[in-house]
Amino acid sequence: MRIVVAMSGGVDSSVAAALLAEQGHEVIGLSMQLYDHTGHAEAGGQRSFGSCCTLDDLHDARRVAASLNIPHYILNLERQFDEQVVSNFVREYAAGRTPLPCAHCNSDLKFTTLAERARGFGAEAVATGHYARVERDPATGRYLLKRGADPSKDQSYFLFSLTQDQLAHAMFPIGDRGKNAVREYARHRRLPVADKPDSQEICFIPDHDYAKFVTKRAPETDRQGTIVDEHGRVAGRHGGIHRFTIGQRKGLGLASPSPLYVLALRPAEQQVVVGPKSALERTTLTASDVNWIGGKPRTPQRVAAQIRHRHQAAPATVHATDGGSATVVFDAPQIAVTPGQAVVFYDEDIVVGGGWIG
Amino acid sequence: MRVYFDYNATTPLAPEAAEATARALRDQFGNASSVHHFGQQAKAAIDEARSAVAALLNADPSELVFTSGGTESDNFAIRGAAEALDPIGRRHLIAGAIEHEAVLNTLKALARRGWRTTLLPVDQSGIVSPDRLREIITDDTALVSVMHANNEIGTIQPVAELAAIAHERGALMHTDAVQSTGKIPVDVRALGVDLLSLSAHKFSGPKGAGALWIKRGTRLQPILTGGRHERSRRAGTENVPALVGLGVAARLAASKMSAEAARVGALRDRLEVRILRDVGGTAVNGTRSSRVPNTTNISFDRVEAESLLIALDLEGVAVSTGSACSSGTLEPSHVLRAMGFSAHRAQNSLRFSLGMFSTEEEVDRVASLLPSIVEKLRALTRKTASA
């Protein structure tokens, strides 16, 4: 079978490609060039050599493809990435929400734009290096998305919005392996990236300074505002609500006898609301743009609901409501329910569905 | 069967050039600057190559400086002229808008260091206008650099006419003849230029060898300083095997040029006619009347050239979207943009460039593959657009 592998230059997608090639598939490596940190320095201006990242990753992908003897191409998707992922990221922060760009990148870029290109090249499937599994349910004929076998690396949370059509053509060759096994295999196959460190959280902000990035892209977010407590009393000032996320404790610049946490962000008033940790607890949330992988349920469902990547999914009841929304009621209070993040519903290790926390 | 239609990116070696290069790599290990026998052998081999290249250009061998290739030759010509003429107050540089990056980015680098630079526009046919040069050129102009043939669309520029205008105002004239040398007659006297760049690997010679022809008496500042190689004009131990290959390629080109131009030109025309006839929504970019015989640049409406290139490669057909040197950049071809085409059309365009080993069978294979590949990609585009 002709399969396109989305190769990032990291060890996971490299092993995904290697495994499929070993199984005898006709593998084509595609890498997405998504952003350019070099600016226009290539025109002969000053630049510090060896400081560039994204081109190095593309170069790594090419080296891996060469070592596997598979064709490899770079697709320039900078414009699409900017429109579909980066703009949304900036908008969300400006609106006092905490975005999840990797999930958008998966559903709106890898499994749409890249998948379409792959079809144009005659590929029957798109494989990625995600720690997740996709299976066909023999009873219903529908595709199931499941957690990766290694719970510490599972990435199904970032894939909840894949549709049946997308899952039907998706492959996650390393989903049944652990990270150690993946590295082991990479070393065994002598892949040039076998010992490359894992990638950072947000690929397009290598210095992790999200606030600086948002300010640069949307200068209007750089507005002073007040920090208030639960009762509306002013406790301090801040330099823009995009610098904060729900549950944040550090960097508030407040003197207080007991630790204070960010409870809420109010974009209209440019207010950051703070309070004690107990005030972060929530037992309900609503989700929008819910994707039901197994079909929309007619009755309330008992699920384990996960509200961020590093959250232990907690027992809850989810009610699908009209307009693609859902209400989630947790059995026990959860800390820091954060608008902009995803809530993903699991039945054991099967992703039932998920949506965006409102 | 793999088809290689990307000769403007680089060419396979002529067997004679490969053989001579391999032999020199084995046997001519001497340093051409050495006094002894081994040095003399290497020097003789280089001089023979120099004579061969000079004969191809109707030049004197002493006017040729060997370099590592086209990019170095262009840098040498532009930086060398800019620095040499700086003391007399000529700090203005002019280049064609459709020049290779080796020229354009060198100009940009000099602009950052205080030189004034102006680009000479082209019309929709892909030819620069001598009249515009008359308007742009000043008494401060140090150098005018306009390529002989364009790498992306193959159009031939009116270099002789431009050179006359440059000389009227006391400026030097450089032409990047990387894409014309070996394909069409390149006569430095007839072109009337002062400086001319060429590269071996664009006409069946090896990579890493090129030359800058410098008309006797031209003021030029060396950019590579060091030993007294190449009459102190370009320091660095000569790449003897590659230069030997360049010499052989030059001799071959001189002896076979008219026959090859006719043969390759007929193949190119056959390919072009069939694509225009069998694939809807196609058009040739640039004039079809004044171009090198091996090149055609075609736009495919409603297909991203990037996807078409990959789909063709998966079928074993190698073409390109423009300059190989700008692969991976988002910018649509600066050549097609300068000709006034939309970014859209520029991103829908593919270059087919043929050469020594191209055959009619290959042309027919590519021409028969294209309709279905294009149709498939267009169908996906439609689906996405309507989704």
DSSP of A336-355, one letter per residue? ---BTBEEEEEETTEEEEEE
Residue A212 lies in a domain: no
Q: Do A71 and B384 touch (CB under 8 A)?
A: no
Domain shared by A323 and A234, yes or no: no
- pLDDT over 90 (residue A51): no
pLDDT for res B117: 98
pLDDT for res A76: 85
Bridge partner residues of A133 (DSSP): A146
A35, A240, B302 from A205: Cα distances, Å: 10, 19, 34
Q: How far apart are CA A93 and CA A87, in angstroms?
A: 10
Domain shared by A151 and A44, yes or no: yes
- Domain with A329 in it: what CATH number? 2.40.30.10
Residue A221 lies in a domain: no
Domain shared by A329 and A247, yes or no: no
Q: How many CB pairs under 8 A join A and B?
A: 47
- pLDDT over 80 (residue B329): no
Q: Using N-to-C axis directions, what is the helix angle for B240-278 and B360-386, rounded to 10°?
A: 60
The number of residues making up chain B comes to: 387
Q: Which residues of B are catalytic?
A: 325
Q: Which of A188, A219, A254 is the last residue of a domain?
A: A188
Per the structure, the count of domains in chain A is: 3
Tokens of A272: 């950051």
Please, what are the domains in chain B?
3-10+257-386 (3.90.1150.10), 15-252 (3.40.640.10)
Q: How far apart are the first and last CA of chain B?
A: 37
Domain shared by A238 and A287, yes or no: no
Domain shared by A98 and A153, yes or no: yes
Bridge partner residues of A74 (DSSP): A31
Domain shared by A23 and A114, yes or no: yes
Q: Which of A159, A188, A217 is the last residue of a domain?
A: A188
Q: Which of residues 164-203 of B touch A (CB under 8 A)?
A: none
Nearest to A45 among B112, B306, B327 (CB): B112
Domain shared by A241 and A151, yes or no: no
Contact B174, B197 (CB under 8 A): yes
Chain A contact present for B95, CB below 8 A: no
- For B170, left (φ over 0), alpha (ψ -120 to 50), or beta? left
Confidence of residue A44 (pLDDT cuts 50, 70, 90): very low
Domain shared by A109 and A242, yes or no: no
Residue A122 lies in a domain: yes
Chain A contact present for B307, CB below 8 A: yes
Which pTM does this prediction carry? 0.89
The average confidence (pLDDT) of chain B is 95
Judged by DSSP in three states, B3 sits in: strand
Domain shared by A345 and A253, yes or no: no
**Which residue of chain B is at minimal alpha-carbon distance from A74?**
B328
Higher-confidence residue of A56 and A176: namely A176
Q: Which of residues 7-46 of A touch B (CB under 8 A)?
A: 28, 33, 36, 42-45
Q: What is the pLDDT of residues B219-276, one digit of tens each?
A: 999 999 999 999 999 999 999 999 999 999 999 999 999 999 999 999 999 999 999 9
Q: How far apart are CA B183 and CA A157, in angstroms?
A: 58
Domain shared by A83 and A182, yes or no: yes
The average confidence (pLDDT) of chain A is 92
Tokens of B289: 């009347």
Residue A201 lies in a domain: no
Q: How far apart are CA B337 and CA B121, in angstroms?
A: 11
Chain A contact present for B103, CB below 8 A: no
Residue A162 lies in a domain: yes
Chain A contact present for B377, CB below 8 A: yes
Q: How far apart are CA A32 and CA A109, in angstroms?
A: 9
Mean pLDDT of A21-29: 98
Sign of CA dihedral A332, A333, A334, A339: positive
Q: Which of A125, A157, A188 is the last residue of a domain?
A: A188
Rounded to 5°, angle at Cα B298 from B294 and B300: 155
Domain shared by A243 and A303, yes or no: no
Contact A274, A235 (CB under 8 A): yes
Contact B144, B174 (CB under 8 A): yes
Domain shared by A86 and A172, yes or no: yes
Residue A196 lies in a domain: no
Q: How far apart are CA B126 and CA B285, in angstroms?
A: 8
Which amino acid belongs to residue A121?
A: F
Residue A194 lies in a domain: no
Residue A243 lies in a domain: yes
Q: Where does residue A217 rank: exposed (0-12), middle (13-18), buried (19+ CB within 10 A)?
A: middle
The verdict on ipTM greater than 0.90 is no
Residues of B with Cβ-Cβ distance to A76 under 8 angstroms? 306, 328-330
Structural domain boundaries enclosing A320: 280-357
